[in-house]
Structure 1
Amino acid sequence: MTHRMVEMKPESRTRWLRGVSAPGAKIRLVCFPHAGGAAGAFHDWAALTPPEIEVMSVQYPGRQDRLSEPCAATMEELADAITAALLRELPDDRPLALFGHSMGSAVAYEVARRLDEAPGRTLARLVVSGRARPRTPQELAPRPAPADREILDHVRELDPEGAATYEHPELRPLIMPSLRADFGLLAAYRPTPLHRLGVPVTVCGGDRDPGCAVEELSSWSDVTTQGVDVRVFEGGHFYLNPRKEELVGFVASRLS
Protein backbone atom coordinates (compact mmCIF):
# COMPACT_ATOMS: atom_id res chain seq x y z
CA MET A 1 0.00 0.00 0.00
CA THR A 2 1.25 3.48 -0.84
CA HIS A 3 1.26 5.68 2.25
CA ARG A 4 0.56 9.37 1.98
CA MET A 5 3.19 11.93 2.96
CA VAL A 6 1.10 14.05 5.31
CA GLU A 7 3.67 16.81 5.64
CA MET A 8 3.31 17.62 1.94
CA LYS A 9 -0.46 17.97 2.04
CA PRO A 10 -2.28 21.09 3.23
CA GLU A 11 -4.39 20.66 6.33
CA SER A 12 -8.13 20.92 5.81
CA ARG A 13 -9.97 22.48 8.73
CA THR A 14 -13.52 23.72 9.21
CA ARG A 15 -15.67 24.19 12.27
CA TRP A 16 -16.80 20.56 12.20
CA LEU A 17 -14.10 18.77 10.22
CA ARG A 18 -10.36 18.16 10.51
CA GLY A 19 -8.17 16.38 7.99
CA VAL A 20 -5.58 16.45 5.28
CA SER A 21 -6.59 17.78 1.88
CA ALA A 22 -6.34 15.27 -0.98
CA PRO A 23 -7.72 16.95 -4.11
CA GLY A 24 -7.16 13.89 -6.30
CA ALA A 25 -8.86 11.41 -3.99
CA LYS A 26 -11.72 9.31 -5.35
CA ILE A 27 -13.52 8.82 -2.03
CA ARG A 28 -13.69 10.66 1.29
CA LEU A 29 -13.64 8.77 4.60
CA VAL A 30 -15.27 10.71 7.45
CA CYS A 31 -14.42 9.44 10.96
CA PHE A 32 -16.51 9.81 14.12
CA PRO A 33 -14.85 9.54 17.57
CA HIS A 34 -15.95 7.73 20.72
CA ALA A 35 -17.76 9.28 23.71
CA GLY A 36 -15.65 12.05 25.19
CA GLY A 37 -13.34 11.78 22.19
CA ALA A 38 -12.27 14.31 19.60
CA ALA A 39 -11.17 14.52 16.00
CA GLY A 40 -7.54 14.09 17.02
CA ALA A 41 -8.22 10.38 17.57
CA PHE A 42 -7.80 9.97 13.80
CA HIS A 43 -5.07 12.56 13.17
CA ASP A 44 -2.59 10.08 11.67
CA TRP A 45 -4.98 7.94 9.63
CA ALA A 46 -4.25 9.97 6.50
CA ALA A 47 -0.65 8.76 6.56
CA LEU A 48 -1.83 5.15 6.48
CA THR A 49 -4.24 5.39 3.57
CA PRO A 50 -3.56 5.36 -0.18
CA PRO A 51 -3.86 8.71 -2.02
CA GLU A 52 -7.23 7.66 -3.45
CA ILE A 53 -8.77 8.15 0.00
CA GLU A 54 -9.14 11.51 1.74
CA VAL A 55 -9.52 11.19 5.50
CA MET A 56 -11.55 13.68 7.52
CA SER A 57 -12.62 13.47 11.16
CA VAL A 58 -15.51 15.12 12.96
CA GLN A 59 -14.93 17.50 15.86
CA TYR A 60 -17.95 17.37 18.15
CA PRO A 61 -18.76 20.59 20.04
CA GLY A 62 -17.78 20.96 23.68
CA ARG A 63 -14.17 19.75 23.47
CA GLN A 64 -10.68 20.93 22.53
CA ASP A 65 -10.93 23.98 20.26
CA ARG A 66 -14.75 23.86 20.56
CA LEU A 67 -14.67 23.73 24.36
CA SER A 68 -16.70 26.93 24.71
CA GLU A 69 -19.61 25.53 22.69
CA PRO A 70 -22.36 23.51 24.37
CA CYS A 71 -22.33 19.77 23.76
CA ALA A 72 -25.20 18.31 21.77
CA ALA A 73 -28.12 17.38 24.00
CA THR A 74 -29.56 14.64 21.79
CA MET A 75 -28.42 12.30 19.04
CA GLU A 76 -30.86 13.96 16.67
CA GLU A 77 -29.33 17.38 17.32
CA LEU A 78 -25.80 16.08 16.80
CA ALA A 79 -26.56 14.06 13.65
CA ASP A 80 -28.58 16.87 12.09
CA ALA A 81 -25.76 19.36 12.68
CA ILE A 82 -23.04 17.04 11.33
CA THR A 83 -25.07 16.16 8.24
CA ALA A 84 -25.71 19.83 7.53
CA ALA A 85 -21.98 20.54 7.97
CA LEU A 86 -21.00 17.75 5.57
CA LEU A 87 -23.40 19.03 2.92
CA ARG A 88 -22.24 22.61 3.43
CA GLU A 89 -18.51 22.21 4.02
CA LEU A 90 -17.90 19.42 1.47
CA PRO A 91 -19.57 20.92 -1.59
CA ASP A 92 -18.15 18.50 -4.16
CA ASP A 93 -19.92 15.27 -5.09
CA ARG A 94 -17.07 12.93 -4.10
CA PRO A 95 -18.51 9.69 -2.63
CA LEU A 96 -18.50 9.47 1.15
CA ALA A 97 -17.75 6.57 3.48
CA LEU A 98 -18.29 6.88 7.22
CA PHE A 99 -16.29 5.24 10.03
CA GLY A 100 -17.38 5.41 13.64
CA HIS A 101 -15.95 3.88 16.80
CA SER A 102 -18.04 3.13 19.90
CA MET A 103 -20.44 6.10 20.29
CA GLY A 104 -19.14 7.23 16.91
CA SER A 105 -20.73 4.14 15.35
CA ALA A 106 -24.18 5.32 16.41
CA VAL A 107 -23.48 8.89 15.27
CA ALA A 108 -22.13 7.65 11.92
CA TYR A 109 -25.23 5.49 11.44
CA GLU A 110 -27.55 8.43 12.10
CA VAL A 111 -25.58 10.62 9.69
CA ALA A 112 -25.59 7.79 7.14
CA ARG A 113 -29.37 7.47 7.27
CA ARG A 114 -29.65 11.21 6.60
CA LEU A 115 -27.13 11.13 3.75
CA ASP A 116 -28.83 8.06 2.33
CA GLU A 117 -31.80 10.30 1.56
CA ALA A 118 -29.87 13.42 0.51
CA PRO A 119 -30.23 14.16 -3.21
CA GLY A 120 -27.03 14.38 -5.20
CA ARG A 121 -24.89 12.68 -2.56
CA THR A 122 -23.29 9.25 -2.86
CA LEU A 123 -22.86 7.29 0.33
CA ALA A 124 -20.58 4.35 -0.45
CA ARG A 125 -20.26 2.46 2.84
CA LEU A 126 -20.74 2.62 6.59
CA VAL A 127 -17.97 1.18 8.76
CA VAL A 128 -18.73 0.75 12.47
CA SER A 129 -16.54 -0.38 15.33
CA GLY A 130 -16.82 -1.46 18.94
CA ARG A 131 -20.59 -1.19 19.27
CA ALA A 132 -23.73 -3.20 18.57
CA ARG A 133 -26.39 -1.64 16.36
CA PRO A 134 -28.72 0.92 17.97
CA ARG A 135 -31.59 -0.48 20.03
CA THR A 136 -35.18 0.61 19.63
CA PRO A 137 -37.37 1.63 22.61
CA GLN A 138 -39.10 -1.75 22.35
CA GLU A 139 -35.78 -3.54 22.76
CA LEU A 140 -34.25 -1.32 25.43
CA ALA A 141 -36.01 1.49 27.22
CA PRO A 142 -34.28 4.89 27.38
CA ARG A 143 -32.41 5.41 30.64
CA PRO A 144 -31.58 8.42 32.80
CA ALA A 145 -28.18 9.96 32.26
CA PRO A 146 -25.61 8.08 34.36
CA ALA A 147 -23.88 9.68 37.31
CA ASP A 148 -20.22 10.64 36.99
CA ARG A 149 -19.12 7.67 39.09
CA GLU A 150 -20.96 5.25 36.79
CA ILE A 151 -19.37 6.89 33.77
CA LEU A 152 -15.87 6.64 35.21
CA ASP A 153 -16.39 3.02 36.25
CA HIS A 154 -17.44 2.22 32.68
CA VAL A 155 -14.50 4.13 31.21
CA ARG A 156 -12.10 2.22 33.46
CA GLU A 157 -13.57 -1.05 32.24
CA LEU A 158 -13.29 -0.08 28.56
CA ASP A 159 -9.94 1.71 28.73
CA PRO A 160 -7.98 0.79 31.86
CA GLU A 161 -4.81 2.51 30.65
CA GLY A 162 -6.43 5.78 29.54
CA ALA A 163 -8.86 6.08 32.45
CA ALA A 164 -6.21 7.68 34.67
CA THR A 165 -6.58 10.86 32.62
CA TYR A 166 -10.04 11.42 34.07
CA GLU A 167 -8.66 11.38 37.62
CA HIS A 168 -6.14 14.15 36.95
CA PRO A 169 -7.26 17.15 39.04
CA GLU A 170 -6.41 19.70 36.34
CA LEU A 171 -7.72 17.76 33.34
CA ARG A 172 -10.89 16.32 34.80
CA PRO A 173 -12.89 19.60 34.78
CA LEU A 174 -12.06 20.01 31.08
CA ILE A 175 -12.83 16.43 30.08
CA MET A 176 -15.84 15.46 32.16
CA PRO A 177 -18.43 17.84 30.65
CA SER A 178 -18.16 16.31 27.16
CA LEU A 179 -17.98 12.78 28.54
CA ARG A 180 -21.02 13.42 30.75
CA ALA A 181 -22.96 14.88 27.82
CA ASP A 182 -22.07 12.03 25.47
CA PHE A 183 -23.06 9.33 27.95
CA GLY A 184 -26.33 11.14 28.63
CA LEU A 185 -27.00 11.39 24.90
CA LEU A 186 -26.44 7.64 24.46
CA ALA A 187 -28.61 6.75 27.46
CA ALA A 188 -31.58 8.52 25.86
CA TYR A 189 -30.88 7.47 22.24
CA ARG A 190 -33.41 4.93 20.96
CA PRO A 191 -34.22 5.28 17.24
CA THR A 192 -37.63 4.21 16.05
CA PRO A 193 -37.96 2.73 13.59
CA LEU A 194 -34.55 1.47 12.51
CA HIS A 195 -33.64 2.76 9.06
CA ARG A 196 -32.27 0.19 6.63
CA LEU A 197 -29.44 1.74 4.65
CA GLY A 198 -29.01 1.13 0.95
CA VAL A 199 -25.24 0.66 1.33
CA PRO A 200 -23.09 -2.17 2.70
CA VAL A 201 -21.98 -2.06 6.32
CA THR A 202 -18.58 -3.23 7.54
CA VAL A 203 -18.31 -4.07 11.24
CA CYS A 204 -15.09 -4.20 13.28
CA GLY A 205 -14.40 -5.09 16.88
CA GLY A 206 -11.90 -6.38 19.39
CA ASP A 207 -11.94 -10.00 20.44
CA ARG A 208 -11.75 -9.02 24.13
CA ASP A 209 -13.99 -5.95 24.15
CA PRO A 210 -15.90 -5.83 27.47
CA GLY A 211 -18.34 -3.31 25.99
CA CYS A 212 -19.28 -5.19 22.82
CA ALA A 213 -19.02 -8.96 22.56
CA VAL A 214 -17.98 -10.42 19.20
CA GLU A 215 -21.40 -12.04 18.72
CA GLU A 216 -23.06 -8.62 18.93
CA LEU A 217 -21.21 -7.24 15.90
CA SER A 218 -23.42 -9.04 13.38
CA SER A 219 -26.49 -7.20 14.76
CA TRP A 220 -25.70 -4.45 12.22
CA SER A 221 -27.19 -6.68 9.51
CA ASP A 222 -30.56 -5.30 10.66
CA VAL A 223 -29.76 -1.77 9.39
CA THR A 224 -28.79 -2.47 5.77
CA THR A 225 -30.28 -4.03 2.67
CA GLN A 226 -26.81 -4.62 1.23
CA GLY A 227 -25.30 -7.02 3.73
CA VAL A 228 -22.53 -6.82 6.34
CA ASP A 229 -19.01 -8.12 6.66
CA VAL A 230 -17.43 -8.52 10.09
CA ARG A 231 -13.75 -8.33 11.00
CA VAL A 232 -12.49 -9.12 14.49
CA PHE A 233 -9.12 -7.77 15.65
CA GLU A 234 -7.01 -8.77 18.60
CA GLY A 235 -7.60 -6.47 21.54
CA GLY A 236 -10.12 -4.79 23.80
CA HIS A 237 -12.49 -1.89 23.27
CA PHE A 238 -9.72 0.39 22.03
CA TYR A 239 -8.08 -2.28 19.87
CA LEU A 240 -7.92 0.35 17.11
CA ASN A 241 -4.96 2.07 18.77
CA PRO A 242 -2.41 -0.80 18.85
CA ARG A 243 -3.94 -2.30 15.67
CA LYS A 244 -4.16 1.01 13.83
CA GLU A 245 -2.20 0.08 10.72
CA GLU A 246 -4.02 -3.22 10.38
CA LEU A 247 -7.42 -1.58 10.86
CA VAL A 248 -6.80 1.32 8.49
CA GLY A 249 -5.46 -1.05 5.86
CA PHE A 250 -8.57 -3.19 6.19
CA VAL A 251 -10.92 -0.20 5.97
CA ALA A 252 -9.03 1.10 2.93
CA SER A 253 -9.43 -2.28 1.24
CA ARG A 254 -13.20 -1.99 1.63
CA LEU A 255 -13.21 1.42 -0.04
CA SER A 256 -11.16 0.50 -3.10
Structure 2
Amino acid sequence: MSTATPVHGRPTPGGRAATDPWIRRFQAAPDAPVRLVCLPHAGGSAALYVPFARALSPLADVLAIQYPGRQDRRVEPGITRLDHLADLVADALAPWADRPLVVFGHSMGALLGYEVTARLESAGTPPRALIASGRRAPSRHRAESVHLRTDEGVVAELRRLGGVDPTFLDDPELRAMILPSVRTDYEAIETYRHPPRPPLSTPLTVLTGDMDPQVTPDEARAWARHTTGTFTLRTFTGGHFYLNEHMPEVREVLRGILM
Protein backbone atom coordinates (compact mmCIF):
# COMPACT_ATOMS: atom_id res chain seq x y z
CA MET A 1 0.00 0.00 0.00
CA SER A 2 1.34 3.43 -0.88
CA THR A 3 1.84 5.96 1.86
CA ALA A 4 -0.40 9.00 2.11
CA THR A 5 1.59 11.84 0.61
CA PRO A 6 -0.09 15.24 0.32
CA VAL A 7 -0.19 16.63 -3.18
CA HIS A 8 -0.57 20.41 -3.05
CA GLY A 9 -1.71 21.44 -6.47
CA ARG A 10 -4.58 21.96 -8.82
CA PRO A 11 -5.02 21.76 -12.56
CA THR A 12 -4.50 24.87 -14.63
CA PRO A 13 -5.37 25.54 -18.29
CA GLY A 14 -1.76 24.85 -19.16
CA GLY A 15 -1.88 21.47 -17.44
CA ARG A 16 0.70 22.36 -14.82
CA ALA A 17 0.11 22.21 -11.09
CA ALA A 18 -0.02 25.44 -9.10
CA THR A 19 0.57 25.57 -5.38
CA ASP A 20 -2.74 25.75 -3.56
CA PRO A 21 -2.88 26.10 0.23
CA TRP A 22 -6.51 24.99 0.37
CA ILE A 23 -6.44 21.55 -1.28
CA ARG A 24 -4.87 18.35 0.08
CA ARG A 25 -4.86 15.17 -2.00
CA PHE A 26 -3.49 12.51 0.33
CA GLN A 27 -3.99 9.73 -2.20
CA ALA A 28 -4.63 11.31 -5.55
CA ALA A 29 -6.91 9.42 -7.93
CA PRO A 30 -6.52 11.47 -11.12
CA ASP A 31 -8.57 9.04 -13.22
CA ALA A 32 -11.55 8.90 -10.85
CA PRO A 33 -14.85 9.96 -12.42
CA VAL A 34 -15.87 12.05 -9.39
CA ARG A 35 -14.18 14.22 -6.76
CA LEU A 36 -15.13 14.13 -3.08
CA VAL A 37 -14.63 17.45 -1.27
CA CYS A 38 -14.15 16.96 2.49
CA LEU A 39 -14.63 19.83 4.94
CA PRO A 40 -13.40 19.47 8.56
CA HIS A 41 -15.20 20.35 11.78
CA ALA A 42 -14.30 23.33 13.98
CA GLY A 43 -10.63 23.09 14.94
CA GLY A 44 -10.14 20.18 12.56
CA SER A 45 -7.66 19.82 9.72
CA ALA A 46 -7.49 18.22 6.31
CA ALA A 47 -5.47 15.32 7.76
CA LEU A 48 -8.66 13.95 9.32
CA TYR A 49 -9.65 12.74 5.87
CA VAL A 50 -6.59 10.60 5.14
CA PRO A 51 -8.69 7.44 5.85
CA PHE A 52 -11.34 8.63 3.38
CA ALA A 53 -8.71 9.15 0.68
CA ARG A 54 -7.27 5.68 1.23
CA ALA A 55 -10.61 3.90 1.41
CA LEU A 56 -12.29 5.63 -1.53
CA SER A 57 -9.43 5.64 -4.05
CA PRO A 58 -9.68 5.01 -6.99
CA LEU A 59 -13.47 5.43 -6.87
CA ALA A 60 -13.10 9.12 -6.01
CA ASP A 61 -10.39 11.74 -6.02
CA VAL A 62 -10.60 13.03 -2.43
CA LEU A 63 -9.93 16.76 -1.99
CA ALA A 64 -9.55 17.59 1.70
CA ILE A 65 -9.84 21.28 2.53
CA GLN A 66 -7.24 22.87 4.80
CA TYR A 67 -8.53 25.97 6.59
CA PRO A 68 -6.12 28.76 7.58
CA GLY A 69 -4.81 28.81 11.15
CA ARG A 70 -3.79 25.16 11.61
CA GLN A 71 -0.96 22.76 10.83
CA ASP A 72 1.06 24.05 7.85
CA ARG A 73 -1.22 27.14 7.70
CA ARG A 74 -0.87 27.89 11.41
CA VAL A 75 0.79 31.28 10.87
CA GLU A 76 -2.16 32.49 8.77
CA PRO A 77 -5.00 34.26 10.58
CA GLY A 78 -8.18 32.27 10.96
CA ILE A 79 -11.38 33.35 9.22
CA THR A 80 -14.18 34.45 11.52
CA ARG A 81 -16.97 34.80 8.92
CA LEU A 82 -18.41 31.64 7.46
CA ASP A 83 -19.66 33.40 4.32
CA HIS A 84 -16.15 34.68 3.60
CA LEU A 85 -14.68 31.22 4.20
CA ALA A 86 -17.27 29.75 1.80
CA ASP A 87 -16.30 32.28 -0.88
CA LEU A 88 -12.64 31.30 -0.59
CA VAL A 89 -13.29 27.55 -0.61
CA ALA A 90 -15.62 27.82 -3.60
CA ASP A 91 -12.97 29.80 -5.48
CA ALA A 92 -10.35 27.16 -4.64
CA LEU A 93 -12.64 24.41 -5.95
CA ALA A 94 -13.45 26.12 -9.25
CA PRO A 95 -10.52 24.56 -11.18
CA TRP A 96 -11.51 21.10 -9.90
CA ALA A 97 -15.09 21.27 -11.19
CA ASP A 98 -14.12 19.78 -14.54
CA ARG A 99 -15.47 16.55 -13.00
CA PRO A 100 -18.55 16.08 -10.81
CA LEU A 101 -18.06 17.11 -7.19
CA VAL A 102 -19.61 15.56 -4.10
CA VAL A 103 -19.37 17.71 -0.97
CA PHE A 104 -19.03 16.16 2.49
CA GLY A 105 -18.71 18.10 5.73
CA HIS A 106 -18.94 17.28 9.41
CA SER A 107 -20.26 19.75 12.02
CA MET A 108 -18.90 23.16 10.98
CA GLY A 109 -17.93 21.47 7.71
CA ALA A 110 -21.57 20.58 7.05
CA LEU A 111 -22.68 24.19 7.39
CA LEU A 112 -19.75 25.35 5.28
CA GLY A 113 -20.53 22.65 2.73
CA TYR A 114 -24.06 23.99 2.40
CA GLU A 115 -22.76 27.50 1.72
CA VAL A 116 -20.09 26.24 -0.71
CA THR A 117 -22.74 24.20 -2.55
CA ALA A 118 -24.89 27.31 -2.94
CA ARG A 119 -21.95 29.10 -4.51
CA LEU A 120 -21.12 26.21 -6.83
CA GLU A 121 -24.73 26.12 -7.99
CA SER A 122 -24.65 29.87 -8.68
CA ALA A 123 -21.47 29.37 -10.70
CA GLY A 124 -23.18 26.77 -12.88
CA THR A 125 -21.27 23.78 -11.46
CA PRO A 126 -23.73 22.19 -9.01
CA PRO A 127 -22.34 19.25 -7.04
CA ARG A 128 -23.69 15.78 -7.63
CA ALA A 129 -24.58 15.61 -3.91
CA LEU A 130 -24.14 17.33 -0.55
CA ILE A 131 -23.60 15.18 2.55
CA ALA A 132 -24.11 17.08 5.81
CA SER A 133 -22.95 15.29 8.96
CA GLY A 134 -23.37 16.23 12.61
CA ARG A 135 -25.03 19.62 12.14
CA ARG A 136 -28.52 21.02 12.49
CA ALA A 137 -30.17 22.64 9.47
CA PRO A 138 -28.80 26.08 8.53
CA SER A 139 -32.15 27.71 9.30
CA ARG A 140 -32.20 26.31 12.85
CA HIS A 141 -30.25 28.89 14.82
CA ARG A 142 -29.17 28.48 18.44
CA ALA A 143 -27.77 31.36 20.47
CA GLU A 144 -24.27 30.13 21.36
CA SER A 145 -21.11 31.96 22.44
CA VAL A 146 -18.37 29.38 23.00
CA HIS A 147 -15.91 31.63 21.14
CA LEU A 148 -16.32 34.27 23.87
CA ARG A 149 -15.44 31.89 26.72
CA THR A 150 -12.14 31.65 28.54
CA ASP A 151 -9.70 29.00 27.36
CA GLU A 152 -10.99 26.75 30.14
CA GLY A 153 -14.54 27.26 28.88
CA VAL A 154 -13.61 26.35 25.31
CA VAL A 155 -11.79 23.25 26.53
CA ALA A 156 -14.84 22.24 28.57
CA GLU A 157 -16.96 22.39 25.39
CA LEU A 158 -14.47 20.26 23.48
CA ARG A 159 -14.52 17.68 26.28
CA ARG A 160 -18.33 17.69 26.26
CA LEU A 161 -18.54 16.95 22.55
CA GLY A 162 -15.59 14.55 22.35
CA GLY A 163 -13.65 14.08 19.15
CA VAL A 164 -10.44 15.66 20.47
CA ASP A 165 -7.72 13.44 21.91
CA PRO A 166 -7.68 14.24 25.68
CA THR A 167 -3.89 14.39 25.60
CA PHE A 168 -4.15 17.53 23.46
CA LEU A 169 -6.44 19.13 26.01
CA ASP A 170 -4.39 18.04 29.03
CA ASP A 171 -1.02 19.24 27.68
CA PRO A 172 -0.70 23.05 28.00
CA GLU A 173 1.57 23.40 24.95
CA LEU A 174 -0.57 21.25 22.67
CA ARG A 175 -3.71 22.96 23.91
CA ALA A 176 -2.21 26.37 23.15
CA MET A 177 -1.57 25.21 19.59
CA ILE A 178 -5.14 24.16 18.83
CA LEU A 179 -7.23 26.68 20.77
CA PRO A 180 -6.76 29.67 18.43
CA SER A 181 -8.19 27.81 15.43
CA VAL A 182 -10.98 26.31 17.54
CA ARG A 183 -11.98 29.74 18.80
CA THR A 184 -11.88 31.26 15.29
CA ASP A 185 -14.01 28.45 13.86
CA TYR A 186 -16.55 28.71 16.66
CA GLU A 187 -16.86 32.42 16.01
CA ALA A 188 -17.53 31.70 12.33
CA ILE A 189 -20.34 29.24 13.03
CA GLU A 190 -21.85 31.05 16.02
CA THR A 191 -22.16 34.36 14.18
CA TYR A 192 -23.58 32.72 11.03
CA ARG A 193 -27.13 33.57 10.07
CA HIS A 194 -28.91 31.77 7.27
CA PRO A 195 -29.41 34.22 4.39
CA PRO A 196 -32.71 34.43 2.50
CA ARG A 197 -32.29 32.22 -0.55
CA PRO A 198 -34.20 29.57 -2.49
CA PRO A 199 -33.50 25.93 -1.62
CA LEU A 200 -30.61 24.16 -3.25
CA SER A 201 -31.27 21.86 -6.18
CA THR A 202 -28.45 19.50 -5.12
CA PRO A 203 -29.49 16.13 -3.64
CA LEU A 204 -28.89 16.15 0.11
CA THR A 205 -28.00 13.38 2.54
CA VAL A 206 -27.90 14.15 6.27
CA LEU A 207 -26.04 11.95 8.76
CA THR A 208 -26.57 12.36 12.49
CA GLY A 209 -25.98 10.67 15.83
CA ASP A 210 -29.01 9.82 17.93
CA MET A 211 -27.37 11.25 21.08
CA ASP A 212 -25.78 14.34 19.55
CA PRO A 213 -26.33 17.28 21.93
CA GLN A 214 -25.86 19.66 19.02
CA VAL A 215 -28.55 18.20 16.76
CA THR A 216 -32.07 17.12 17.71
CA PRO A 217 -33.98 14.77 15.38
CA ASP A 218 -36.23 17.68 14.38
CA GLU A 219 -33.20 19.89 13.63
CA ALA A 220 -31.76 17.14 11.44
CA ARG A 221 -35.04 16.66 9.54
CA ALA A 222 -35.24 20.41 8.97
CA TRP A 223 -32.47 20.09 6.38
CA ALA A 224 -35.16 18.81 3.99
CA ARG A 225 -36.45 22.34 3.43
CA HIS A 226 -33.05 23.37 2.06
CA THR A 227 -33.19 21.36 -1.15
CA THR A 228 -35.61 20.63 -3.95
CA GLY A 229 -33.55 17.56 -4.77
CA THR A 230 -33.81 14.20 -3.09
CA PHE A 231 -33.41 14.18 0.69
CA THR A 232 -32.14 11.28 2.80
CA LEU A 233 -31.65 11.17 6.57
CA ARG A 234 -29.45 8.50 8.17
CA THR A 235 -29.30 8.22 11.97
CA PHE A 236 -26.49 6.36 13.73
CA THR A 237 -26.00 5.51 17.38
CA GLY A 238 -23.67 7.89 19.16
CA GLY A 239 -22.99 11.53 19.91
CA HIS A 240 -21.55 14.44 18.00
CA PHE A 241 -18.62 12.38 16.74
CA TYR A 242 -20.69 9.28 16.04
CA LEU A 243 -18.68 8.74 12.85
CA ASN A 244 -15.61 7.70 14.87
CA GLU A 245 -17.50 4.53 15.83
CA HIS A 246 -19.27 4.15 12.50
CA MET A 247 -16.58 5.02 9.98
CA PRO A 248 -17.04 1.84 7.89
CA GLU A 249 -20.79 2.49 7.60
CA VAL A 250 -20.21 6.16 6.76
CA ARG A 251 -17.77 5.23 4.04
CA GLU A 252 -20.34 2.81 2.61
CA VAL A 253 -22.88 5.62 2.50
CA LEU A 254 -20.33 7.69 0.61
CA ARG A 255 -19.59 4.84 -1.78
CA GLY A 256 -23.27 4.53 -2.59
CA ILE A 257 -23.49 8.21 -3.44
CA LEU A 258 -20.22 8.31 -5.38
CA MET A 259 -21.00 5.32 -7.60
TM-score, normalisation: structure 1: 0.88
Determine whether 1:126 maps to 2:130: yes
Matched-pair identity in % = 38
Q: 1:49 to 1:195 in 2, by over 3 A?
A: same
Match for 1:53 among 43, 57, 60? 60
* 1:1-38 deviation digits (Å, cap 9, x = unpaired): xxxx5x17874323101122112111100000000000
Q: CA RMSD in A?
A: 2.2
Amino acid at match of 1:95: P
Letter in 1 for 2:22: W
Residue by residue over 1:198-229, the C-alpha shift from the partner in whole angstroms, topping out at 9 and shown as x without a partner, is: 11100001122222223321111111011310
Match of 2:232 in 1: 229
CA distance in 2 between partners of 1:140 and 1:216 (Å): 11
Question: SS of the counterpart of 1:202?
Answer: strand
Summarize the alignment of residues 32-181 of structure 1 with structure 2, pairs less than 5 Å apart: 32-49=39-56, 51-88=58-95, 90=96, 93-119=98-124, 121-135=125-139, 145-148=147-150, 149-159=152-162, 162-181=165-184
Range moving further from structure 2, 11-20 or 157-166: 157-166
TM-score norm. by structure 2 comes to 0.87
Instruction: Please give the residue correspondences for 1:178-189 in structure 2 after superposition, counting only pairs within 5 Å.
Output: 178-189=181-192
How far is the alpha carbon of 1:140 from its aligned partner?
5.2
Mapped to 2, the partners of 1:217 and 1:200 lie a distance apart of: 15
Between 1:231-240 and 1:23-32, the stretch displaced more is: 231-240
Tell me the CA shift for residue 48 of structure 1.
Answer: 1.6
Taking the aligned partners of 1:9 and 1:35, their CA distance within structure 2 comes to: 23
Contact 2:136-2:214 at 8 Å conserved across structures? no
The unaligned stretches of length 5 or more in structure 2 are 9-19
Aligned to 1:17, which of 20, 23, 30? 23
C-alpha distance 200-222 of structure 1, shift in aligned 2 (>3 A)? same
Deviations 1:28-86 (A, max 9, x none): 00000000000011111122225221111100000000000000120111111111111
Gaps of 5+ in 1: none
Paired positions, count:
246
Partner of 1:247: 250
User: How many Å separate the matches in 1 of 2:188 and 2:154?
Assistant: 13
Work out whether residues 146 and 157 of structure 2, in 8 Å CA contact, stay in contact via their aligned partners in 1. no
